[in-house]
Every structure is written in C-alpha cells, then in structure tokens.
C-alpha cells in the first residue's frame, strides 16, 4: 500500500463490479465470462473446488493481473487506482513477510504507509498480536503469521477487504477472534470478500455466498438460498433387519442420489424426500426413527458442483 493521493473516482453504489471478465492461462480458462457486483457492507464468501478460479478472480480484483476481456472496476476505478489510494486491504496466501523486523515494526510501517491509518496499538490488539509484538516476523508460527497478515490488511480504514483463505493455520480461538473483528469491519460499511475451503465459516459468517466452478458463477445467494437451491434432502431411518435383498430394494427408491447403510441405520440423500419416503412405505418398509433434514452448505456445495460436473462431462 502506498500512501499517496490519487484521482480516484467517487464511490459508486458497487464496491466491485466484474463485467463479462475472462482470463486464460494457455488452454485453461481460469475465469470465464464472470459478471458480478459487490455492495458496501456485504460479507461475501467465494467458494469453489480446487482450480475453480478463486485466486485468479482475486488477482484480477486486486489488479495483480489484467483480464483478457471484460472490465473489472473497484470502487468505481481501475483496481490499481483503488489500491494505490489505500481503499483496499488484502490478505493473500502467497508472499513472504519481511523477516528481519519485529511484528511491531512491520505493523507500524503498514500504518505509516496508509492514508487513513488506525493506531498501531489498536491494530495489534484487534489482530490479537500485542503479546508477540516484539518477536521477529520470521520466528512466528503459521497461525501467528496469519494474524500478522490480517493486521497488515486492517492497518487503516478500507472500503473493501479481500482475504484469500484467511484462517488457514489458525486455531479455533484465533478464528473466532478473527471473524469477530471482520464482522466489526463489515458493520462499519466495509465490504469483505473472502475465499475459503471452510464451508462452515461461509455458512456462519457470509451474508452472501458465491460458488465458482471452472471460472463461472454457479450460484449466488445467501447460504440458505444455496442450500434450498441444491434441492436435496437427507433422509435417515433405522430398519430392524438389513440384508442384500433389502439393500437392492432400497436402491430402487425414487430420487435417490446416495445410499449409505451402517448397521441398522440407512442414510439417504434424495432430490425429493417426499417421493422417496412415500415409496419407502409403498415398498413395505417400516422405518423407525425417521428423520428428514435439509442439506448443510457443504453438502449443497458438493451437490451443485457435482451436478455441473455431470452436466458438462
């Protein structure tokens, strides 16, 4: 971050806008006609299987790479302009921290360079690194290093905070503290965009979830909407006796996507739980302890991405 005044355009309603953005590496289309907008105060999770294009999307957003076609705007300006103006804080996976300095010195430098800095002691406290402020940066554990990266990303008042898998390596307490601080930032009107593989974090934290797959947006909505869109439900019940013949009959149930039998317990995933349960009784089964539940975000994510895989196979 460089502390200089630039001719940044005035804020628009959209913090980020991607308009039919494409980026390829050789034959690989990492981002494929992506259109999306982020608004102030939103906390948005970016999900996707390995290679879906999450990091490539964040790189475009941060001006670290340029699209082959389409436009990327951040706070109404070119990404690099918004970044040079200190309006975007980023915490990326890659890139080492300066080694020979202490945590305090590094955070002080980040605050000094920021056009709208917070107080160094406040930044240290929020990132929960006050106790390790005098340690050399290259002597930190993985989780401590993540917290220092977080401190650097929140050294001043940003309009947008971008985080690539921010809690990797953090323990449970550090994660909770991290998300509490992030929530405060969002409550102050900042947009927060984070890529993650921890779906429970996306479920708990994000107002909005974006599912990327092969560079395209497969789903965009609240976690509840994404779960509902996946449509599938879990059905579980016990049977008194299960043998090979009964297992074969269970496989004929309609709308079944998965069948798992452990001891006397049958677990099913179904695209239409009502039809499956109805047929279960119709086939003469007497299920006990019958439970029907919606999918978690993780299962919904798998269902959505697998459906797309088989559609495009």
Ligand X SMILES: Nc1ncnc2c1ncn2[C@@H]1O[C@H](COP(=O)(O)OP(=O)(O)OP(=O)(O)O)[C@@H](O)[C@H]1O
Give the containing element (helix H, strand E) for 171: none
Q: CA-CA distance, 69 to 51, in Å (whole number)?
A: 20
Judged by CB under 6 A, the stretch of 22-30, 103-111, 219-227, 290-298 that binds ligand X is 22-30
The answer to whether 33 contacts ligand X (rule: CB under 6 A) is no
The answer to whether 48 contacts ligand X (rule: CB under 6 A) is yes
**Residue with smaller CB distance to ligand X, 31 or 106:** 31
The answer to whether 305 contacts ligand X (rule: CB under 6 A) is no
DSSP string, 87-109: -EEEE-SSSPPPSSSBHHHHHHH
**Residue with smaller CB distance to ligand X, 60 or 106:** 60
Give the containing element (helix H, strand E) for 143: helix 142-153
Q: Are 236 and 265 in contact (CB under 8 A)?
A: yes
Q: Whats the size of the chain, residue-wise?
A: 313
**Residue with smaller CB distance to ligand X, 7 or 50:** 50
Judged by CB under 6 A, the stretch of 44-52, 96-104, 112-120, 235-243 that binds ligand X is 44-52
By CB under 6 A, name the one of 17, 43, 56, 84 that touches ligand X. Answer: 56
By CB under 6 A, name the one of 2, 28, 180, 228 that touches ligand X. Answer: 28
Judged by CB under 6 A, the stretch of 25-33, 95-103, 131-139, 239-247 that binds ligand X is 25-33
**Residue with smaller CB distance to ligand X, 195 or 273:** 195
Q: CA-CA distance, 143 to 311, in Å (whole number)?
A: 39
The distance of closest approach from Cβ of residue 53 to ligand X in the complex, given in angstroms and rounded to an integer, is 4
Q: What are the angstrom distances between the C-alpha of 287 and each of 130, 190, 244, 256?
A: 57, 50, 17, 16
Cα-Cα-Cα-Cα torsion 146, 150, 152, 153, nearest 10 degrees, comes to 140
**Residue with smaller CB distance to ligand X, 238 or 298:** 298
* Strand positions, DSSP E, the chain: 16-25, 28-38, 43-47, 69-74, 88-91, 160-164, 191-195, 208-213, 216-221, 233-238, 256-262, 265-270, 288-294
By CB under 6 A, name the one of 50, 289, 310, 312 that touches ligand X. Answer: 50
Judged by CB under 6 A, the stretch of 49-57, 151-159, 276-284, 292-300 that binds ligand X is 49-57
Helix, strand, coil in percent for the chain, rounding step 5: 35, 30, 35
**Residue with smaller CB distance to ligand X, 103 or 202:** 202
The answer to whether 25 contacts ligand X (rule: CB under 6 A) is yes
The distance of closest approach from Cβ of residue 95 to ligand X in the complex, given in angstroms and rounded to an integer, is 14
Q: CA-CA distance, 6 to 38, in Å (whole number)?
A: 23
The answer to whether 55 contacts ligand X (rule: CB under 6 A) is yes
The distance of closest approach from Cβ of residue 162 to ligand X in the complex, given in angstroms and rounded to an integer, is 13
Using a 10 angstrom Cβ sphere, with 0-12 exposed, 13-18 middle and 19 or more buried, the burial of residue 77 is: buried
Nearest CA among 188, 186, 191, 222 for reference residue 297: 222
**Residue with smaller CB distance to ligand X, 126 or 216:** 216
**Residue with smaller CB distance to ligand X, 26 or 284:** 26
The distance of closest approach from Cβ of residue 52 to ligand X in the complex, given in angstroms and rounded to an integer, is 4
Radius of gyration over every alpha carbon of the chain, rounded to an integer in angstroms: 24
The answer to whether 309 contacts ligand X (rule: CB under 6 A) is no
The answer to whether 202 contacts ligand X (rule: CB under 6 A) is no
Binding site for ligand X (CB under 6 A): 25, 28, 30, 48, 50-56
């Amino acid at each position: 971050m460089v502390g200089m005044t630039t001719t940044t355009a005035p804020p628009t309603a959209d913090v980020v806008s991607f308009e039919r953005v494409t980026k390829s590496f050789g034959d690989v289309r990492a981002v494929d006609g992506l259109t999306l907008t982020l608004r102030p105060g939103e906390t948005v999770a970016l999900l996707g299987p390995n290679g879906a294009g999450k990091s490539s999307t964040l790189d475009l957003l941060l001006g670290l790479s340029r699209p082959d076609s389409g436009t990327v705007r951040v706070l109404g300006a070119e990404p690099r302009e918004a970044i040079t103006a200190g309006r975007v804080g980023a915490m990326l996976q890659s890139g080492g921290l300066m080694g020979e300095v202490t945590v305090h010195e590094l955070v002080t430098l980040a605050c000094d360079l920021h056009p709208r800095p917070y107080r160094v002691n406040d930044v240290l406290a929020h990132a929960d690194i006050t106790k390790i402020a005098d340690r050399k940066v290259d002597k930190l554990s993985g989780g401590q290093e993540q917290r220092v990266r977080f401190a650097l990303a929140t050294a001043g008042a940003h309009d947008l905070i971008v985080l690539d898998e921010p809690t990797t390596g953090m323990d449970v307490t550090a994660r909770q503290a991290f998300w509490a601080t992030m929530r405060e930032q969002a409550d102050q009107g900042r947009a927060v965009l984070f890529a993650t593989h921890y779906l429970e974090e996306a479920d708990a934290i994000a107002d909005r979830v974006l599912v990327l797959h092969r560079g395209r947006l497969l789903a965009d909505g609240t976690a509840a909407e994404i779960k509902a869109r996946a449509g599938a439900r879990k059905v579980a019940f016990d049977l008194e006796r299960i043998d090979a013949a009964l297992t074969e009959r269970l496989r004929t149930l309609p709308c079944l996507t998965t069948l798992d039998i452990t001891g006397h317990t049958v677990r099913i995933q179904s695209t239409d739980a009502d039809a499956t349960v109805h047929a279960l009784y119709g086939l003469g089964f007497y299920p006990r302890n019958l439970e029907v539940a919606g999918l978690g975000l993780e299962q919904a994510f798998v269902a959505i991405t697998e459906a797309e895989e088989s559609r495009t196979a």
